[in-house]
C-alpha cells in the first residue's frame, strides 16, 4: 500500500484533530494503515522541553515531519493535525517528502479566529484574553496561511463527515486510497 502524509494546518480549535480522527476511522474501516500524529501528544512525548518560540516551533514541526515521512514511506497514511504556523517550516517538511519521493498533501483547515475562539476547545483563547498566556497562534503570534494548499476546508461551513469526505475525495483523486 502507498503511504502518504496529510498535514492539516490551521489555528487552535480549527477542527484539525477532529477531522483527522474522523478520516482515520474511515480509512481504517477501508483496511488502510493509518496513524494520527496529534500535536499535543507529540509535544508530550517527542518534543518535551520545547517552548513556543519561533525556533522551538520550527524544531517541533521538523521532528513531526521526519516521523510522518518515515511512516508514510513505509505504507502508512499519516495524518498530522498540527498548527505549524510558519510557511517556511511547512515548506521544509514538504521538501523532505519530495526529496524522498513520499506523497505529501497540505490541507488548510481554514476556520476564522472568531469561530475558533468560540469553540475554544482547550481554553486557550480565554486564557489569552485574560492575560494568562501570550503567544497564541493567530491572536498575538503569527499564523502564515498556506497560499496554495492541496485542499482548503472551512469547517465552520461543513459538518465533520462532510469535511472528512472532502479530504477522502482528495486522497482518492491523488491515488492515495
Residue numbers in the known binding site are 10-17
Feature table: binding site for ATP: 10-17
Vertex 109, ends 176 and 127: CA angle to 5°?
Answer: 140
Give yes or no for a contact between 93 and 20, defined as CB atoms under 8 angstroms apart.
Answer: no
Is the sign of the CA dihedral 48, 44, 149, 69 positive or negative? positive
How long a stretch of residues is the chain?
177
Query: Which three cell numbers, joined as nine digits, stand for 43?
Result: 509535544
Torsion on CA atoms 39, 41, 47, 52, rounded to nearest 10? 50
Say which residue the cell 494548499 belongs to.
149
Task: Give 43's contacts (C-beta < 8 A, 6+ positions apart).
Answer: 50, 60
- The residue with cell 491523488 is 174
Q: How far apart are CA 173 and CA 170, in angstroms?
A: 5
Amino acid at each position: 500500500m502507498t503511504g502518504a502524509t496529510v498535514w492539516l494546518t490551521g489555528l487552535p480549535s480549527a477542527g484539525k484533530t477532529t477531522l483527522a480522527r474522523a478520516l482515520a476511522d474511515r480509512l481504517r474501516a477501508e483496511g488502510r494503515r493509518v496513524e494520527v500524529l496529534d500535536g499535543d501528544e507529540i509535544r508530550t512525548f517527542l518534543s518535551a522541553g520545547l517552548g513556543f518560540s519561533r525556533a522551538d516551533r520550527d524544531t517541533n514541526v521538523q521532528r513531526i515531519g521526519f516521523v510522518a515521512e518515515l511512516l508514510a514511506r513505509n505504507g502508512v497514511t499519516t495524518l498530522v493535525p498540527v498548527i505549524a504556523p510558519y510557511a517556511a517550516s511547512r515548506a521544509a517538511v514538504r521538501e523532505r517528502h519530495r526529496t524522498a519521493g513520499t506523497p505529501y498533501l497540505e490541507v488548510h483547515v481554514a476556520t476564522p479566529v472568531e469561530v475558533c475562539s468560540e469553540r475554544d476547545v482547550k481554553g486557550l483563547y480565554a486564557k489569552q484574553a485574560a492575560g494568562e498566556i501570550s503567544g497564541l497562534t493567530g491572536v498575538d503570534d503569527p499564523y502564515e496561511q498556506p497560499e496554495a494548499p492541496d485542499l482548503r476546508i472551512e469547517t465552520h461551513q461543513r459538518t465533520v463527515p462532510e469535511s472528512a469526505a472532502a479530504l477522502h475525495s482528495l486522497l482518492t483523486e491523488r491515488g492515495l486510497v
